[in-house]
């Protein structure tokens, strides 16, 4: 007897539907195990009709009586106390406003009752002192908030050693009095990494970082920032034979910026691996005005002078660069002039003995003129004694004429 081909598929479909129905029923039962009440009256926090007009504390428990959460109701609106049981047995407690934002004290405790987090909020924004603690009760992070910004931070490792520090202009917590130097004298703090290694030394006074030295594994400095003659100075070092080697230095103009911040430079210098000078750039009004480069053998490589001409638009400037290049033996090899990256005026080139061998004359570049190109007008050639031997005149089509 032939079986109807549709019936097996129908039966399978019915079995799947039944399984899905059981899943839904099971899910409903799972949700139903948490029971919420206000003064003994059952309510559903997801259904506003059951809480409309109520004032009191909503308490929610699992079927076995364990507390899940507590929320305060005021005339049907959840606002005031909110206490949540966290996974692992901890408790989070806060005050909320009618918008559901944290507004007032906030705290979290672990299953042992140890305070782990506390702070204050205003309509969801952090204000005042916020503290975080390790499970052993020791402080982990203290931060002070004002005007919507984190003004001061102290971070610790679990053993109590200092991890990082940022101070406000005035004392904002008991813990910053000594660390930030608010007690009338400069305070030297040791900053350690997660392995307990001494990573830096910092000197603070009246909330300002006066000096910071970053340290390598062997205890030698890798960098330092300090104030010298009223200017902030940043230095970088490389490991040397027994002592660090200064490789880079940036000196900033006098300002009120934080020690580790950037700013307008007054000078920037670089040194080679053996400590020999490699580059020095001097600045005025934030712009480089002179630069000198050296070969590693100590001879001067390049000297540059820069001048700036403000343009009529008030936003841009034209740059005039005069440059002298030298061989590694110290003799002059070229003396050139550029305006906005283009050769302009007279250019001179010398041989390895410093004798003039070529002289090129270009049209003068107009300051700030876009799209212009300067043109070679004439070229003089000289022999090894510096005597003129040829002079060419160049025309706009690229052709040239030898002058008699």
pLDDT at 379 over 90: yes
Give the pLDDT confidence score for residue 8 in this predicted structure. Answer: 46
Give this prediction's pTM: 0.77
Band (pLDDT 50/70/90 cuts) for residue 403 is: confident
Instruction: Say which DSSP state 253 is in.
Output: P
pLDDT in tens, 60-79: 999 999 999 999 999 999 99
pLDDT at 1 over 80: no
Give the pLDDT confidence score for residue 28 in this predicted structure. Answer: 38
pLDDT in tens, 202-257: 999 999 999 999 999 999 999 999 999 999 999 999 998 778 999 999 999 999 89
36 contacts 58 by C-beta, under 8 angstroms: yes
274 contacts 245 by C-beta, under 8 angstroms: yes
Task: Name which residue leads in pLDDT, 243 or 343.
Answer: 343
pLDDT in tens, 281-313: 999 999 999 999 999 999 999 999 999 999 988
pLDDT in tens, 148-157: 899 999 999 9
pLDDT in tens, 156-192: 999 999 999 999 999 999 999 999 999 989 999 999 9
Give the pLDDT confidence score for residue 363 in this predicted structure. Answer: 96
pLDDT at 6 over 90: no
Can you tell me whether residue 117 is helix, strand or coil? strand
Distances (CA, A) of 400 to 379, 391, 394: 10, 10, 4
pLDDT at 25 over 70: no
pLDDT at 98 over 90: yes
Give the pLDDT confidence score for residue 17 in this predicted structure. Answer: 41
pLDDT at 3 over 60: no
Enclosing H/E stretch for 21: helix 6-32
Give the pLDDT confidence score for residue 370 in this predicted structure. Answer: 75
pLDDT at 367 over 60: yes
Band (pLDDT 50/70/90 cuts) for residue 268 is: very high
Beta strands in 75-195 (DSSP E): 77-85, 91-96, 102-109, 115-122, 125-133, 139-146, 149-156, 162-166, 187-192
pLDDT in tens, 306-318: 999 999 888 889 9
Band (pLDDT 50/70/90 cuts) for residue 14 is: very low
CA angle 283, 288, 289 (to 5 degrees): 85
199 contacts 223 by C-beta, under 8 angstroms: no
- Average pLDDT, stretch 354-381? 93
pLDDT at 26 over 80: no
């Amino acid at each position: 007897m032939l079986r109807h081909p549709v019936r097996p598929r129908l039966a399978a479909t019915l079995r799947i539907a039944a399984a899905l129905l059981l899943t839904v029923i099971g899910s409903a039962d799972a949700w139903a195990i948490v029971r919420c009440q206000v003064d003994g009256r059952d309510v559903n926090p997801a259904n506003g009709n059951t809480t409309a007009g109520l004032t009191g504390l909503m308490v929610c428990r699992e079927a076995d009586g364990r507390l899940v959460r507590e929320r305060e109701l005021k005339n049907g609106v959840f606002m005031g106390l909110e206490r949540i049981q966290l996974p692992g047995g901890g408790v989070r407690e806060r005050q909320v406003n009618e918008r559901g934002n944290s507004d007032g004290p906030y705290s979290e405790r672990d299953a042992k009752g140890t305070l782990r987090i506390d702070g204050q909020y205003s309509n969801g924004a952090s204000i005042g002192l916020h503290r975080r603690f390790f499970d052993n009760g020791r402080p982990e992070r203290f931060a002070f908030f004002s005007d919507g910004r984190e003004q001061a931070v102290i971070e610790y490792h679990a053993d109590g050693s200092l991890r990082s520090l940022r101070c406000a202009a005035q004392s904002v917590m008991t813990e910053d009095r000594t660390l930030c130097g608010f007690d009338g004298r400069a305070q030297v703090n040791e900053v350690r990494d997660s392995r307990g290694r001494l990573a830096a030394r910092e000197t603070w006074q009246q909330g300002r970082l006066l000096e910071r030295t970053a340290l390598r594994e062997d205890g030698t400095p890798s960098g330092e920032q300090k104030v010298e003659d009223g200017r902030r100075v940043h230095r970088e070092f490389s490991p040397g034979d027994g002592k660090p080697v200064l490789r880079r230095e940036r000196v900033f103009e006098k300002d009120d910026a934080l020690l580790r911040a950037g700013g307008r430079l007054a000078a920037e210098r670089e040194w080679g691996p053996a400590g020999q000078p490699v580059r020095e750039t001097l600045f005025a009004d934030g712009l480089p005005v002179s630069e000198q480069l050296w070969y590693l053998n100590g001879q001067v490589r390049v000297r540059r002078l820069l001048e700036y001409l403000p343009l009529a638009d008030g936003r841009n400037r034209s740059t005039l660069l005069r440059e002298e290049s030298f061989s590694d033996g110290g003799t002059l090899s070229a003396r050139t002039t550029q305006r906005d990256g283009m050769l302009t005026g007279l250019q001179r080139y010398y041989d390895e003995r410093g004798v003039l061998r070529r002289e090129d004359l270009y049209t003068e570049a107009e300051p700030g003129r876009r799209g212009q190109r300067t043109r070679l007008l004439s070229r003089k050639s000289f022999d090894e004694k510096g005597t003129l031997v040829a002079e060419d005149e160049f025309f706009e089509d690229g052709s040239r004429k030898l002058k008699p």
